[in-house]
Amino acid sequence: MKGKRAQAALEFLTTYAWAFMVILMMIGALAYFGILSPSNLLPNKCTISSEFQCLDWFVSSATNSIRVKLKNNVGEAIYANMSVSSESAVPLSCTHSNFSMATGQQRDFNITSCNFASAGMIEGEKRKVLFTVRYYTIASGASYPHEANGELYSVVE
């Protein structure tokens, strides 16, 4: 009688072990094919502090450039420059220039000569680009600098 109960318990545990193995293999297959990748689930977005409004963006590996369209919500005309970075081991570096913006003006910024390959930004992947706009109002002058930090999450085209 004891042998039959032991055999039933062993068969019960074996059945659960097989079911557990099948579940692990399914999760592994989903992860392998990228279905469980959070970057595929998150939407493209561009956020920045309230001094500016991010209207549109484009990240291009073909031209090694990032284009961002911002609107000046500071309430005054400003003089500014933009820098970009990334969270990768080799930081993203690009060429950028200084610019001025009138109140409420929309401006398209083209940041060029980016090192996408060395920063690990591959075409077709979603990546995060951090950007900082350092500005001062023309009325106050360069003695009163301000900074607005933004984040761009997009597919590298």
Quick check: 119 and 88 in contact, CB under 8 A? yes
Task: Write out the residue range of the structural domain in which residue 32 sits.
Answer: 2-36
Percent of the chain with pLDDT over 70: 96
Same domain as 62, residue 8: no
The span from the CA of 123 to the CA of 83, in Å, is 22
Confidence of residue 51 (pLDDT cuts 50, 70, 90): very high
Number of domains within the chain:
2
Same domain as 99, residue 121: yes
Segment 62-87 mean pLDDT: 90
Same domain as 52, residue 31: no
Same domain as 131, residue 76: yes
Same domain as 56, residue 21: no
Same domain as 55, residue 13: no
Provide the CATH number for the domain around residue 150.
2.60.40
Same domain as 29, residue 74: no
pLDDT in tens, 79-135: 998 888 888 888 888 877 788 899 999 998 888 888 888 888 888 888 889 999 999
Q: 3-state DSSP: the chain helix, strand, coil percent, rounded to 5?
A: 20, 40, 40
Please give, one letter per residue, the 3-state secondary structure of 71-125.
EECCCCCEEEEEEEECCCCCCCCCECCEEEECCCCEEEEEEECCCCCCCCCCCCC
Instruction: Kindly state the greatest CA–CA separation across the chain.
Output: 95
Model's pTM, two decimal places? 0.73
